[in-house]
Chain A
Amino acid sequence: MTGRLVTVLLFCIFRTAAFQAPFEPGVPGGTLRVAQKAEPKTLNPLVAIDAPSREVIRLLHADLITINRYTQRTEPALAESWKAAKDGRSFTLALRKGVHFSDGHPFDADDVIFTFQVYTDKAVAAPQRDLLMVGEEPVRVRKTGSHTVVVTLSQPYAAAERIFDGIAILPRHLLEADYRAGRLAKIWTVASTPQSMAGLGPFRFREHKAGEWIRLDRNPYYWKSDANRRRLPYFDEVVLRATGTEENQVIRFLAGELDVLGRLAARSYAAIEQKALPDVQLVDAGSSLEYNVAFFNLNTSAPAHVASKQTWFGDKRFRQALSLAADREGMARLVYGGRATPLWGHVPPGNRIWAAQDIAKPPRSIPAAKQILTQVGFQWDSAGRLLDRAGTPVRFTIVVSSSNSERSRLATILASDWRELGIDVQVVPLEFRALLDRLMNSKDYDACLLGFGGGDADPNPEMNIWLSSGSMHFWNPQQKSPATPWEARLDELMRRQMTTTDFAARHALFREVQQIVAGERPVISLVSPNVLVAARRSVGNFRPAILDSYALWNAEYLYRVTSTGGLGQITKSAQVPGKR
């Protein structure tokens, strides 16, 4: 046990150095069989909002500047280099020359101009649009040469180069007519022909069998090559198989039908680990960017029966006491088998660049929680029930999504923790979309347990959560003016960090955000699950990351290890944390 802990710690230190060993040269050929829990709904980057679709689209397309999933820092992709102007408002990007789309059509600055025009067009309503809005204005892209573009922002924007990540560059020669005709939402469906598609990614679409699989083949024009100047990717084919459920995914992996399991629930991971199969590599990539939080309904527009409880929820010390009572260690141990990190601040340690190190981590203590409650005027009756100052018993419900079994177990633990304080807490598992309806429309709930994050390590994409005017400021969204002084301060800090280009200054601003959240506890952070993946040992260069798409981010470098010669290296790379 201790040995394992040390390995994990060593690994964390190793990872914090953000050092990435170069990929070993691979062997071309073969088919990679990947599991997907659900089938991709579309291949169109302009409409895809579900995770499986985005995973496939990532394999079919490329972006200008990409975030290295391993180091979490930006690196050149289709833009060979970039230069920021002194005012931080414009960037000159030098595009790679001699690059072709997967149908052989050459790529140049016009494709980039077209791409940005489409993404920022209000009529298209692409999910990427809001990322490309800086200060209420879309970024403007100007062509200054056949392979140079200048990107202009309306105001200085921190980490501006990160917004290019995941912006798939579209083929103008195929899509312009559809764009003019306003048909972009209906193109590139799972029913489309491969001829109608082209991208700059390592693979291209070949075939789709409804409900079963989607087959991609190697893009012969892909622009990356390995250290030996061999053109990537190595695999001839990728088959993404929709298994429907997590359980089926595990069964089919154990049956040898699949090579890679994208992201596993902790229990599936433990079950595969327990089988100790010699040809399987299991990787615990460490804490993810996701964080599970509980929060209370502080909406001013909440229904009357909730409003009467808001005198409790609105008190910071009540929230602090409840946070003290939460058994975070128990959650990590029982729900995730120890493959999770207890959280006190809202930024998980997996976010190596931004997680503040100096957040207080008070251990769980029911007496301390009771003491705080006593100070605020709560008391207990003879039956041990918690009463507020007016003598009303404290009772409320926690809503949680019934489709996520791990999260509903978290809620179970949290509720029984709070019951120890004498509070009558009931967990109400609700179907996911019914839960969202209560959360965002009717505002008819007391407390909620939800998971956030997973997108990017940078704080900017989460503006919508922390700004009091944000639509995802869940406990009290879309406020006209900040309801509390600390929310006003959060607004100020978040806005300032967004426009500060100096990293150290930004870091200090965001650290204060984390401290305010940890102190005021608008959300009670609980645990962050680890990113767990499994693959056959015969998959070479397998280096899962904690950013999406966890196991496939370096799909172009993955290859099939055939001879025993390469196996020594594979075993070494598989001996990452958790395994012996």
Chain B
Amino acid sequence: MKRFVARRLMQGALTLWVVSVVGFALMSLVPGSYFDEARLDPRLSPQTVEAMRNRSGELRTLPQRYGEWLVSCFAGEGGYSVVYQVPVLHLMLPRLVKTAQLATAGLALSWLTALVLGAWSANRAGKHAAAVADWLTSVLAAIPELVLACGLMLIGLYAGLVREDNLTIPALALGMGGIPALLPQVRAGLRQVADAPYLELAWAHGIRGWRFTLLFWLRAAANPLLPLLGLSVGTMLSSSLVVEIICGWPGLGPLFLSSVETRDSHVALAVVLIASGLLITANTVTDILQAAADPRIRESS
């Protein structure tokens, strides 16, 4: 087990490193610099702009810049923003908290809906529920995320929900957007184990209703559902990007967008690394949990 964990961690670290190298290379493909903005101001001479660029270290070679970034990472700064003139970590942490808040609320909403509707519709008795779940999935999947978020913002405006720090609208947008991808898979997962002898036994013992669902069914379905949960946690950063921008939620999404626009490479790279780190961690943790639950997986890897 320990070897398995260690191997996964090593793999994860290697992937992150490769992502940072590739990311740096890709960023150098894009023309333009933050200081171009100053070049459009007639009050500044090109010499001054050049001096600013020089000071920011932008004019050094790619390996040099990558080296500086690595040094800064090992110094615990996570890079240095040319735009804000502060260590990236300082910009990242408060926004990461905000994104985590939103993502947690959104995930909770979509998972709760998916589990309730999934359990209900995967149930032998839930014929109507299946239809409801089907239609909900199709309708929500047909509405583009952007339209959903904008519509909710307008509703929120009339309902008085557009307030500072009010999670309702962005969480609703994120949660509803997540349901169509989740619901069919959750239902499939639940149905897959529905005929397990273990459940039949519980049923035969007269265990019914929520007790049956929570204590027996969901536990039995952990194996197909855990990787799903891992995937939705791992991709929460990328999925909340659009919602954050539209709802003006001050998380990592708007920061990533503006860092792409202003060519603030260390900041953008930090967001990318956080996102991939999250994905890798989530995958590893689900693998470990699955392995702990099912010895066959441990053996085969």
Contact = CB atoms under 8 A, between A and B. Distances in A.
**In their complex, do chains A and B touch, with some C-beta pair under 8 Å?**
yes
A211 B84 contact: no
Given A211-B95, A441-B31, A191 B42 contact: no
A127 B38 contact: yes
B41 A255 contact: no
Nearest to B40: A436
Interface in A117-172: 122, 125-127, 129-131, 133
Interface residues of B, number: 47
Contact of A211 (B85, B86, B94): B94
Contact of A244 (B41, B157, B254): B254
Given A49-B37, A212-B250, A125 B48 contact: yes
B149 to A, nearest CB: 11
Nearest to B51: A125
A428 to B, nearest CB: 15
B42 A42 contact: no
A257 interface: yes
Contacts of B95: 210-211
B7 interface: no
Interface stretch (A458-466, A497-505, A506-514, A517-525): A458-466
Interface in B56-99: 83-86, 90-91, 93-95, 98
B75 to A, nearest CB: 15
Contacts of A50: 37
B42 A432 contact: no
Contacts of B52: 47, 49, 125, 127
Given A437-B36, A455-B42, A455-B43, A47 B51 contact: no
A227 interface: no
A49 B245 contact: no
Contacts of A241: 164
Interface in B159-175: 160, 162-164
B44 A130 contact: yes
Contact of A186 (B39, B85, B94, B255): B85
A47 B247 CA distance: 31
A515 interface: no
A432 B44 contact: no
Contact of A210 (B31, B42, B83, B94): B94
Contacts of A211: 94-95, 98, 250-251, 254-255
B86 A433 contact: no
B48 A255 contact: no
Contacts of A562: none
Nearest to B38: A49
B213 to A, nearest CB: 40
A434 interface: yes
Nearest to A130: B45
A127 B43 contact: yes
B114 interface: no
A255 B85 contact: no
Contacts of B48: 125-127, 129-130
Interface stretch (A3-11, A19-27, A246-254): A246-254
A191 B255 contact: no
B85 A49 contact: no
Contacts of B42: 452, 455, 461-465, 470, 472
B245 A245 contact: yes
Interface string B22-35: 00000000111101
A247 B16 CA distance: 36
A41 B90 CA distance: 13
A189 interface: yes
Contacts of B91: 210
A129 B55 CA distance: 15
A185 B85 contact: yes
A130 B248 CA distance: 37
A386 B27 CA distance: 42
B17 to A, nearest CB: 27
Interface in A75-108: none
A41 B51 contact: no
Given A49-B35, A130-B45, A42 B84 contact: yes
Nearest to A466: B42
A471 B42 CA distance: 8
B192 interface: no
Nearest to A125: B51
A561 interface: no
A440 interface: yes
B200 interface: no
A254 B38 CA distance: 33
Given A211-B254, A432-B261, A189 B38 contact: no
B258 A38 contact: yes
B85 A47 contact: yes
B31 A440 contact: no
Contacts of A341: none
A41 B41 contact: no
16 contacts: A42-B84, A44-B85, A49-B52, A126-B48, A210-B93, A212-B250, A241-B164, A248-B248, A252-B162, A252-B248, A403-B261, A432-B261, A436-B36, A440-B39, A441-B31, A464-B42
Interface of A: 38, 41-42, 44, 47, 49-50, 122, 125-127, 129-131, 133, 185-186, 189-191, 209-212, 241-245, 247-248, 251-252, 254-255, 257, 403, 431-434, 436-437, 440-442, 452, 455, 461-465, 470-472, 478
Closest 6 CB pairs of A and B: A433-B32, A211-B250, A125-B51, A437-B31, A248-B248, A464-B42
